[in-house]
Copies of this chain bind each other. A is one copy, B any other.
């Protein structure tokens, strides 16, 4: 038979075997208190020999710290978030913290379930990228956490810190680029949502267009889910409705690629008939066959900064609690070259 049913090896077993008290074993494991060299080695030897592993539940119950940080994002499936998550994971693991990940799939209910779970778990802190629940509710959630870092969100009561991209300026750069390359009839394909990331970009697009003196109509704006399938569908509609459109700004690269796909489907030449921009610069955008002009966002770095901010708080280290990063225009093949105007 196997040994699945046997009771767990505990700190007390190790103590007995090494002829010390349980507390001393605890000291050896954590290495943060006085233990003589000989005792340390003797205990460590026993631990290694029997393959003992401390029980996290007991530990976190006794110490009121879990060594876990919670992360809430809409979707690991989206390359943008998965890169952010990798930045978070790498930074956390390096400092001996683990990550409890929740993808909400854009559903408020799943987001709430994630918060509920996080509250039960007594995680040491949380990082939220793109919360979708109303601000007021979010504040209640944050208040119940020891520390909470928000990504791409304005500071909210209860939030410890914020890491964000200057979205307004970033999207403005994209719009300006289209203008400079001769586009005169712009459209914007937004993702579905009413929070900061969505409204801030929208504001940037509107401002940039009106500033240029071009007229604005509602028909120029589309809204779709953050998937290839949905953006394809909505972009297709938008293009059919606006045959004169010669520039389409997309909320992100996934949507941009969907839009590109729609152009291909309709036989619209990119960038000759229409220019397209994405946002994020996910690795696919750089493929020769895609060549999507986009705003490069330091995705991994966002995750790293957010996690470092959180860990600093946990360790009582002072540091910036409001980091703003910039995006960079990456010109590829879905927009015309600068100076080549109509």
Residues of A at the B interface (CB closer than 8 Å) are 2-4, 8, 51, 53-58, 60-61, 66, 76-77, 79, 82-83, 85-86, 89, 93, 98-101, 103, 110, 113, 116-117, 119-122, 143-146, 158, 227-229, 257, 260-261, 264-265, 283-284, 287-290
| Cβ of A76 to closest chain B Cβ, rounded Å | 5
Tell me if A287 and B56 are in contact (CB < 8 A): no
| Cβ of A30 to closest chain B Cβ, rounded Å | 13
Give the residues in chain B near A229, CB-CB below 8 Å: 283
Q: Which residue of the partner chain B has the closest CB to A58? A: B61
Give the residues in chain B near A284, CB-CB below 8 Å: 228, 284
Tell me if B122 and A56 are in contact (CB < 8 A): yes
Once bound together, how far apart are the Cα atoms of A267 and B58, in whole Å? Answer: 62
Partner of A83, one of B57, B77, B145, B289: B77
**Given A76-B86, A289-B264: A3 and B143 within 8 A (CB)?**
yes
Once bound together, how far apart are the Cα atoms of A119 and B51, in whole Å? Answer: 10
Give the residues in chain B near A89, CB-CB below 8 Å: 103
Tell me if B53 and A61 are in contact (CB < 8 A): no
Q: Which residue of the partner chain B has the closest CB to A90? A: B105
In the complex, besides A2-B158, A264-B288, A284-B284, 5 extra interface pairs with C-beta distance below 8 angstroms are A56-B57, A57-B66, A61-B61, A261-B287, A264-B289
Most chain B beta-carbon neighbours within 10 Å: one of A58, A93, A99, A288: A288
Tell me if A86 and B77 are in contact (CB < 8 A): yes
Partner of A4, one of B99, B146, B260: B146
Tell me if B85 and A76 are in contact (CB < 8 A): yes
Give the residues in chain B near A53, CB-CB below 8 Å: 116, 119-120
Q: Which residue of the partner chain B has the closest CB to A143? A: B2
Give the residues in chain B near A56, CB-CB below 8 Å: 57, 120-122
| Cβ of A294 to closest chain B Cβ, rounded Å | 16
Q: Which residue of the partner chain B has the closest CB to A2? A: B143
Once bound together, how far apart are the Cα atoms of A55 and B57, in whole Å? Answer: 10
**Given A4-B146, A228-B287: A82 and B76 within 8 A (CB)?**
yes
Give the residues in chain B near A290, CB-CB below 8 Å: 287, 289
| Cβ of A134 to closest chain B Cβ, rounded Å | 17
Once bound together, how far apart are the Cα atoms of A4 and B290, in whole Å? Answer: 49
Once bound together, how far apart are the Cα atoms of A85 and B103, in whole Å? Answer: 10
Once bound together, how far apart are the Cα atoms of A165 and B119, in whole Å? Answer: 38
Tell me if A55 and B143 are in contact (CB < 8 A): no
Give the residues in chain B near A261, CB-CB below 8 Å: 287-289
Once bound together, how far apart are the Cα atoms of A93 and B288, in whole Å? Answer: 39
Most chain B beta-carbon neighbours within 10 Å: one of A98, A122, A227: A98
| Cβ of A53 to closest chain B Cβ, rounded Å | 4
Tell me if A113 and B93 are in contact (CB < 8 A): yes
